[in-house]
Chain A
Amino acid sequence: MHPWGKWGRDFTEYGMVAARAALADAGIAWTDVQYVAGADTIRNGYPGFVAGATFAQKLGWSGVRISSSYAACASGAQALDSARAQILAGLCDVALVIGADTTPKGFFAPVGGGDRKSDPDWQRFHVLGATNPVYFALFARRRMDLYGATAEDFAQVKVKNAKHGLHNPNARFKREYTAEDVVNSPVVSDPLRLLDICATSDGAAAMIVCSMEYARRHLGSTNGLCRVKAVGTVTPVYPQSMLELPDIASDSTAVIPAPVRSYKDSIAWSAYEQAGMGPEDIDLAEVYDLSTALELDWYEHIGLCAHGEAEQLLRSGATTIGGRVPVNPSGGLACFGEAIPAQAISQVCELVWQIRGQAVGRQVEGARVGITANQGLFGHGSSVIVAR
Chain B
Amino acid sequence: MTTLSPSSVPAITRKPIVEGWFTMDEAAPSLIGCRCPSCGTFVFPPRSGDCPSPWCESETLEQTLLSRTGRIWSYTENCYAPPLPYVAAEPYEPYALAAVQLEAEGMIVLGKVPSGILASDLHVGMEMQLELDISHRDDEHEYIVYVWAPAGGAK
Q: Which of B87, B106, B119 contacts A253 (CB 8 A)?
A: B106
Asked if A92 is at the interface (CB within 8 A of a chain B CB), the reply is no
Q: Mark A207-238, 1 if CB is under 8 A from B, else 0.
A: 00000000000000000000000000000001
Q: Which of A9-17, A106-114, A363-371 has 4 or more CB atoms under 8 Å from chain B?
A: A106-114
Are the C-beta atoms of B145 and A127 separated by less than 8 Å? Answer: yes
Give the interface size bracket for A toward B: 35 or more
Q: Mark B76-101, 1 if CB is under 8 A from A, else 0.
A: 11111111111110000001110100
Q: For residue A144, which residue of chain B has the nearest CB? A: B124
Are the C-beta atoms of B53 and A256 separated by less than 8 Å? Answer: yes
- Chain A nearest CB from B119 CB (Å) reads 4
Q: Which of B43, B52, B85, B97 has the most CB of A within 10 A?
A: B85
Query: Complex formed: what's the CA distance from A241 to B102 in Å?
Result: 12
- Chain B nearest CB from A28 CB (Å) reads 43
User: A142-B124, A249-B44 are known contacts. Are A186 and B79 too (CB-CB below 8 A)?
Assistant: yes
- Chain A nearest CB from B46 CB (Å) reads 10
- Tally of contact residues, B, Cβ under 8 A: 49
Q: Which of A95-103, A130-138, A327-335, A340-348 has 4 or more CB atoms under 8 Å from chain B?
A: A130-138
User: A139-B74, A145-B124, A188-B79 are known contacts. Are A252 and B17 too (CB-CB below 8 A)?
Assistant: no
Asked if A255 is at the interface (CB within 8 A of a chain B CB), the reply is yes
Q: Mark B100-127, 1 if CB is under 8 A from A, else 0.
A: 0000111111111000000100011000
Are the C-beta atoms of A238 and B53 separated by less than 8 Å? Answer: yes
Query: Complex formed: what's the CA distance from A251 to B107 in Å?
Result: 6
Are the C-beta atoms of B111 and A128 separated by less than 8 Å? Answer: yes
Q: Mark B39-70, 1 if CB is under 8 A from A, else 0.
A: 11111110000001111000000000000000
Give the tally of cross-chain contacts (CB within 8 A): 143
- Chain B nearest CB from A38 CB (Å) reads 28
Q: Which of A53-61, A115-123, A165-173, A310-318 has 4 or more CB atoms under 8 Å from chain B?
A: A115-123
User: A188-B80, A252-B43 are known contacts. Are A126 and B97 too (CB-CB below 8 A)?
Assistant: no
Query: Complex formed: what's the CA distance from A249 to B145 in Å?
Result: 16
Asked if A187 is at the interface (CB within 8 A of a chain B CB), the reply is yes
- Chain B nearest CB from A154 CB (Å) reads 14
Q: For residue A257, which residue of chain B has the nearest CB? A: B106
Are the C-beta atoms of B77 and A252 separated by less than 8 Å? Answer: no
Asked if B18 is at the interface (CB within 8 A of a chain A CB), the reply is yes
- Chain B nearest CB from A139 CB (Å) reads 7
Are the C-beta atoms of A252 and B106 separated by less than 8 Å? Answer: yes
Q: Which residues of A contact B75 (CB under 8 A)?
A: 138, 141
Query: Complex formed: what's the CA distance from A384 to B129 in Å?
Result: 43
Asked if A32 is at the interface (CB within 8 A of a chain B CB), the reply is no
Query: Complex formed: what's the CA distance from A139 to B110 in Å?
Result: 13
Query: Complex formed: what's the CA distance from A96 to B42 in Å?
Result: 44
Query: Complex formed: what's the CA distance from A115 to B95 in Å?
Result: 23
| Dominant SS among interface residues on chain B | loop
Q: Which residues of B contact A127 (CB under 8 A)?
A: 17-18, 21, 135, 145
Query: Complex formed: what's the CA distance from A189 to B107 in Å?
Result: 23
Q: Which residues of A contact B104 (CB under 8 A)?
A: 254
- Chain B nearest CB from A315 CB (Å) reads 23
- Chain B nearest CB from A177 CB (Å) reads 20
Q: Which residues of B contact A126 (CB under 8 A)?
A: 17-18, 85-87
- Chain B nearest CB from A363 CB (Å) reads 38
Are the C-beta atoms of A109 and B97 separated by less than 8 Å? Answer: no
Q: Which residues of A contact B45 (CB under 8 A)?
A: 123, 248-249
Query: Complex formed: what's the CA distance from A35 to B62 in Å?
Result: 48
User: A125-B83, A134-B97, A243-B99 are known contacts. Are A251 and B52 too (CB-CB below 8 A)?
Assistant: yes
Q: Which of B55, B74, B123 contacts A138 (CB 8 A)?
A: B74
Are the C-beta atoms of A138 and B76 separated by less than 8 Å? Answer: yes
Q: Which of B86, B110, B123, B124 contacts A243 (CB 8 A)?
A: B110
Are the C-beta atoms of B85 and A249 separated by less than 8 Å? Answer: no
User: A107-B82, A254-B104, A254-B105 are known contacts. Are A128 and B97 too (CB-CB below 8 A)?
Assistant: yes
Query: Complex formed: what's the CA distance from A125 to B43 in Å?
Result: 20
Q: Which residues of B contact A239 (CB under 8 A)?
A: 41, 52-53, 106
Are the C-beta atoms of B76 and A141 separated by less than 8 Å? Answer: yes
Q: For residue A192, which residue of chain B has the nearest CB? A: B76
Query: Complex formed: what's the CA distance from A124 to B99 in Å?
Result: 13
Query: Complex formed: what's the CA distance from A96 to B90 in Å?
Result: 49
User: A137-B76, A145-B74 are known contacts. Are A129 and B82 too (CB-CB below 8 A)?
Assistant: yes
Considering only residues 242-263 of chain A, those with a C-beta below 8 Å from chain B are 242-243, 247-256
Considering only residues 275-301 of chain A, those with a C-beta below 8 Å from chain B are none
The list of the 3 closest CB pairs from A to B, nearest first, reads A129-B82, A253-B106, A137-B76
17 inter-chain pairs at a CB distance below 8 angstroms, sorted by A residue, are A107-B83, A109-B85, A125-B86, A127-B18, A128-B86, A129-B82, A129-B88, A131-B82, A134-B76, A134-B78, A145-B74, A146-B124, A191-B76, A239-B106, A250-B107, A252-B42, A252-B105
